[in-house]
């Protein structure tokens, strides 16, 4: 299959490498002019829409808009190409992109992922999908190379983006929950590694708790997933929540706490730095 990437950061490089290893014809355009062995470099992003599948992995709404929407790449897309939005973007923008693709007659699906670059390198991502079932079915050979499991979130692309935003929101809540638990337990003589041994083997054994409890125990908060991007995702969750007309008090609290960590100069740290903010240890990680 002829697959093109728009964006080739750490996640994109891992995914592109796996697709090349599995015999796909892979090309990429990236704003930083990055190159990757086995991947054909595209001089302009328009060329990405001349193949079978385009995988877009850009940082946010603004980047996607500037690269794809403003230059009107969709009007020059090859007939039959499927555009797969793997970026974590806002629900509102996902709805807008769906309408724009429909107008242009270009197939559009969402497939944001759960997993960090090391997981992507292992081909073990969790892929959340949203869109026309026929288009998604044709993408299974691509997704199976990249993922441990594919999770259908319905036939609307914005449903998958809402689910991804909700997942990231819950991860930050888990990090904050662990930090606040350490405040209580350490104040009463329980070492954090002892407490985490308890919760990981009883109540909370998920990957998020496993990964971020280690950061909190070791007081090391290196990326990972940058706190600045975590704040962006919490902002997207806040916007999506506001659109429902309901209050989300836990989201409001963690959004404020993450913002404080970034205001303190920790935007390039792993997003689990929010735990150090709560524990009063953030200054030690400057």
What's the pLDDT tens digit per position in 75-122?
Answer: 999 999 999 999 999 999 999 999 999 999 999 999 999 998 999 999
Tokens of 87: 């970026």
Calculate the average pLDDT of the chain. 96
pLDDT (0 to 100) of residue 286 = 65
The answer to whether residue 284 scores a pLDDT higher than 80 is: no
pLDDT (0 to 100) of residue 205 = 94
- CATH number of this structure's domain 162-285: 1.10.1040.10
pLDDT (0 to 100) of residue 251 = 98
Tokens of 235: 């902002």
Q: How far is CA 201 from the centre of its chain?
A: 27
Q: How confident is the model at residue 282 (pLDDT cuts 50, 70, 90)?
A: confident
Tokens of 178: 């662990």
pLDDT (0 to 100) of residue 32 = 87
What's the pLDDT tens digit per position in 239-272?
Answer: 999 999 999 999 999 999 999 999 999 999 999 9
Domain map (residue ranges) of the chain:
2-155, 162-285
Arch. (CATH architecture) of 2-155: 3-Layer(aba) Sandwich (3.40)
Q: DSSP H helical segments within the chain, as ranges?
A: 10-21, 61-64, 91-104, 117-121, 133-138, 140-146, 157-186, 192-200, 207-218, 227-244, 249-263, 273-279
Residue (of 192, 185, 222, 224) closest to 208 by Cα position = 224
What span, in angstroms and rounded, lies between the C-alpha atoms of 119 and 69? 30
Catalytic residue, chosen from 78, 148, 156, 164, is: 164
What span, in angstroms and rounded, lies between the C-alpha atoms of 151 and 266? 33
Residue (of 11, 4, 283, 38) closest to 164 by Cα position = 11
Active site residue 214: no
What's the pLDDT tens digit per position in 168-226?
Answer: 999 999 999 999 999 999 999 999 999 999 999 999 999 999 999 999 999 999 988 99
- Same CATH fold assignment for domains 2-155 and 162-285: no
């Amino acid at each position: 299959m002829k697959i093109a990437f728009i964006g080739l950061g750490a996640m994109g490089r891992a995914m592109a490498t796996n697709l090349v290893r599995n015999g796909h014809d892979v090309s990429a355009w990236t704003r930083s002019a990055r190159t990757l062995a086995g991947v054909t470099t595209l001089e302009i992003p328009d060329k990405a829409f001349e193949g079978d599948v385009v995988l877009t992995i850009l940082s946010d709404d603004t980047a996607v808009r500037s690269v794809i929407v403003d230059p009107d790449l969709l009007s020059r897309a090859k007939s039959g190409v499927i555009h797969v939005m793997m970026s974590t973007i806002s629900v509102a923008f996902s709805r807008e992109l769906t309408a724009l693709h429909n107008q242009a007659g270009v197939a559009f699906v969402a497939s944001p992922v759960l997993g960090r670059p090391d997981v992507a390198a292992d081909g073990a991502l969790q892929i959340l999908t949203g869109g026309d079932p026929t288009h998604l079915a044709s993408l299974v050979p691509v997704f199976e190379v990249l993922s441990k499991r594919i999770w259908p979130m319905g036939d609307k692309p914005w449903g998958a983006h809402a689910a991804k935003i909700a997942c990231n929101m819950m991860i930050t809540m888990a990090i904050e929950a662990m930090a606040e638990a350490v405040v209580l337990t350490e104040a009463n003589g329980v070492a954090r590694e002892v407490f985490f041994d308890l919760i990981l083997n009883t109540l909370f054994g998920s990957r998020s708790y496993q990964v971020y409890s280690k950061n909190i125990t070791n007081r090391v908060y290196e990326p990972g997933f940058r706190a600045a991007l975590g704040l962006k995702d919490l902002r997207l969750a806040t916007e999506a929540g506001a659109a429902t007309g309901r209050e989300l008090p836990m989201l409001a609290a963690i959004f404020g706490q993450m913002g404080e960590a970034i205001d303190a100069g920790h935007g390039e740290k792993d997003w689990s730095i929010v735990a150090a903010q709560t524990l009063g240890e953030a200054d030690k990680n400057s």
